[in-house]
Chain A
Amino acid sequence: MNALRTLVSPRGAVFLLLVVLLVAVTILNPSFAEPGQFMRFLQRVAPIAIVAIGQYFVIIAGEFDLSQGSLITAQVIIAGNLVGQDDARTVPVLLLMVVFAVAVGLVNGVITTLLKVPSFIVTLGMMLALLGGVMWWTGGAATGNPADSFREIGRGGIRDIPLLDFLPWAVLLLIAWLALGIWITKRPLGKTLIAVGDNARAVDYAGARRAWATTRAFIISSLSASLSAVLLVGYAGVHPSVGRGYEFTAITAVVLGGVVLGGGRGWIVGAVAGAFALEALFMLLNIAGVPSTLRDAVQGVIIIAAVAYSAVAFRARRKRGPQPPPDLTTEEPAPTRTIHTNSTIHTETRGD
């Protein structure tokens, strides 16, 4: 009963949506429930889920990262052009990609926090600059097919496991990245980020280093995008359109997962579940034979409906929830104090 209530609550709604979608997919296509098929599904979701984890940290801090999609494209093209057919270059190029990601995140974060430019604009500028820069560098046609050892990360996995049949590296990476993400949310950094999203000024007064915390959120976001790029090189190959629109997909997934745009509230597992629900939705539309042209429309309706449900349900719950004490003057023995102090007490009790 309690679990049911959690599922219907706005926080658990995404899990309910995910279960409904997966059941619907299984009914239409029974082979989906087989471990091998399911692992393929997880492998396909991994890039989006990883990007959503990165976006989660930025969004709970009340910011946006629109540069993720372009960063993925940039990293994919960097990998394609620099690794080439030389296996020995895999590790150095991976290191270079990490450095590049940290640099992009640092620039996003520093301009947002120190120059006080809205992150929407900073990352929009970064999106234009990264995509334009990479296309300029490659002349518009991304070439190169990285060595198999590099592509293996996104494509391959451990084969011939008794129960699962096939365990892709992508799934392991997703699990590791999610575990790392959960760990960060438990750390002071995670707590600070949620506080920043809730009330940035209070964080300043509390003496936390808000600028550095937000900057680290942007770095995490860039690193996530780069990890996703490594996976995408594996099974999507090198193409200038890889990663296009990922920032919006990631933001949609995060919001679908119950994270509030504007920051301060949200659960990282919900964000990942949002990514899974979104991908399950795509798959369901695919299997159900919805014309590909109409898929966008259905996706739009479901996104709005899901977010509206959680918004309305949240408001309803807040209305039903414990009411703040209406008037404290009755509890006080002698109402000698003035209106001003009265209101102070009122807010204090509400804070409990």
Chain B
Amino acid sequence: MKRLKIDSTVIVLGILLLVLVVGAILVGTVGRNFLSAGNIRDILTGMSVLGLVAIGQTLVVLGASLDLSVTYVISLSSLLAATIMNGNPGNIPLAVIVTLLVCAGVGLLNGLIVTVLKVNGFIATLGVGLILQGILNTNFEGSAGNVPWAFQLIGATGVGPIPVSTLIMVVLAVVVWVLLNRTRTGAHLYAVGGDPEIARLSGVRTRMPLIWAHVLCSVFAALAGLLLASRLGVGSPTVGQQGGYALLSIAAVVLGGTLLLGGRGSIWGTIGGVAILAVVDNVMSVMQVNPFLKDVVRGVVIVAAVAVYSRRSIVRRRPRFGAGGTRTGGDDAAKAAAPEMAAAVSQLADPTSDTTLPAEGGRS
């Protein structure tokens, strides 16, 4: 595989660049500076909440599941945090911990329903989302709680033009990248998402990675909810639904080159996808596009951007051998065994169909 690696992440970055250039020109025509510090700050702020949700969603989609309950988890998280804090800065640590634990519990429930009861992720998380909505509607009639100023600062401050919330999002993206590419759970998640049966036959416990993915997805949605609470100053039972985060995060994940069928994709592609959506939104806001027309443009951009690369189906497989691969040192062993393999193959009854076997093994 010494060919030029044009994988989907590169294409996503290319599309992002294109969107940035077109956006800068469009914004320039109305006499505004696209690259001003204020505007960059707006774009990055717009990325942070959807980015957090999309990072979690990436994990679940890689495991060939979906999470439609994130919208309700976001609302739940913002309400829990705001009501526990209740304006008292001393309650912040407690509120954050309780919120994250409760939402992790929701994720655990999702994961168990998907893995143990074998309910399709779409239906399972739709159902859990409905349950959460019922609970929210029963217990809260409107905005509730009060977020102390100390916590609101997280959503309001920044380092230069970069908001703290975006920094948190990027740091967590790095953590998830490490999880996916440098840990056993990450490798198993790719395996289970690619083909659960083959993963099982290879000795992978197929349930654990997917349960972890669902738990982490809900925790990331909870973080997004905390961020929204810090921005709004109160908890709101509809903040998740208003943003349409479930479908938009899935769109961002697919925009980032992750296969909806699972098993292939990357976290940086997702961040790229989120950035594309944020830039498009920002350009439309600056140009004061009709809010309904915004939805039309958003829909067209999502479909068009995915269409650019999905037709060529060049989502790169994870390298199996060599540096960065899931199996190091395998190359030499395979090369050493090649002559024996060839000899064994030639003895088989049906040589025509089998000669391709070692070659295939060597290439992948």
**Which A residues form the contact surface with B (CB < 8 A)?**
66, 111, 115-118, 120-122, 124-129, 131-133, 135-136, 140, 248, 251-252, 255, 260-262, 291, 293-301, 303-304, 307-308, 311-312, 315, 337-338, 340-341
The answer to whether B292 and A338 touch across the interface, beta carbons within 8 angstroms, is: no
**Interface SS majority for chain B:** helix
Bound-complex Cα distance A27 to B299 (A): 47
Among A126, A135, A136, A337, point to the contact of B349 (Cβ < 8 A): A337
The answer to whether B311 and A120 touch across the interface, beta carbons within 8 angstroms, is: no
Among B247, B300, B350, point to the contact of A341 (Cβ < 8 A): B350
Q: List 19 A-B contacts (CB under 8 A).
A: A117-B303, A117-B306, A118-B306, A121-B251, A121-B260, A124-B299, A125-B300, A128-B298, A132-B292, A255-B123, A293-B138, A296-B131, A297-B130, A297-B135, A300-B131, A301-B127, A304-B113, A307-B123, A337-B349
B263-303 interface bits toward A, Cβ cutoff 8 Å, 1 = contact, 0 = none: 00000000000000000000000000010111111111011
Among A118, A129, A308, point to the contact of B300 (Cβ < 8 A): A129
Among B120, B254, B350, point to the contact of A120 (Cβ < 8 A): B254
Report chain A residues within 8 Å CB of B311.
115-117
Q: Can you name the residue of chain A whose Cβ is closest to the Cβ of B128?
A: A300
Among B123, B292, B296, point to the contact of A303 (Cβ < 8 A): B123
Report chain B residues within 8 Å CB of A255.
120, 122-123
The answer to whether B299 and A117 touch across the interface, beta carbons within 8 angstroms, is: no
Known: A125-B299, A301-B127. A117 touches B307 (CB 8 A): yes
Report the minimal beta-carbon distance from A43 to chain B, rounded to whole angstroms: 25
Q: Can you name the residue of chain B whose Cβ is closest to the Cβ of A336?
A: B349
Residue with the highest number of chain A CB atoms closer than 10 Å, among B260, B299, B307: B299
Report chain B residues within 8 Å CB of A261.
120, 122-123
Report the minimal beta-carbon distance from A333 to chain B, rounded to whole angstroms: 17
Bound-complex Cα distance A294 to B33 (A): 50
The answer to whether B134 and A300 touch across the interface, beta carbons within 8 angstroms, is: yes
Report chain A residues within 8 Å CB of B297.
132
Report the minimal beta-carbon distance from A241 to chain B, rounded to whole angstroms: 13
Bound-complex Cα distance A140 to B292 (A): 8
The answer to whether A307 and B296 touch across the interface, beta carbons within 8 angstroms, is: no
The answer to whether B260 and A295 touch across the interface, beta carbons within 8 angstroms, is: no
Report chain A residues within 8 Å CB of B350.
340-341
Among B135, B260, B295, point to the contact of A118 (Cβ < 8 A): B260
Bound-complex Cα distance A248 to B297 (A): 23
Among A132, A251, A294, point to the contact of B134 (Cβ < 8 A): A294
Report chain B residues within 8 Å CB of A116.
307, 310-311, 313
Among B122, B247, B307, point to the contact of A115 (Cβ < 8 A): B307
Bound-complex Cα distance A297 to B134 (A): 4
Known: A111-B303, A136-B292, A338-B347. 18 other contacts (CB 8 A): A121-B260, A126-B303, A128-B295, A128-B296, A129-B300, A132-B295, A133-B292, A251-B123, A252-B126, A293-B138, A299-B130, A299-B134, A300-B127, A300-B130, A303-B126, A304-B119, A307-B127, A315-B118
The answer to whether B295 and A340 touch across the interface, beta carbons within 8 angstroms, is: no
Bound-complex Cα distance A251 to B124 (A): 12
Report the minimal beta-carbon distance from B76 to chain A, rounded to whole angstroms: 13
Bound-complex Cα distance A189 to B63 (A): 32
The answer to whether B349 and A341 touch across the interface, beta carbons within 8 angstroms, is: yes
Bound-complex Cα distance A288 to B119 (A): 28
Report the minimal beta-carbon distance from B57 to chain A, rounded to whole angstroms: 12
Report the minimal beta-carbon distance from A239 to chain B, rounded to whole angstroms: 16
Known: A132-B295, A304-B119. A124 touches B302 (CB 8 A): yes
Report the minimal beta-carbon distance from B242 to chain A, rounded to whole angstroms: 14
Bound-complex Cα distance A259 to B311 (A): 28
Among B117, B123, B296, point to the contact of A129 (Cβ < 8 A): B296
Bound-complex Cα distance A261 to B126 (A): 13
In the complex, chain B residues 75-133 whose Cβ is within 8 Å of any chain A Cβ: 113, 117-120, 122-124, 126-133
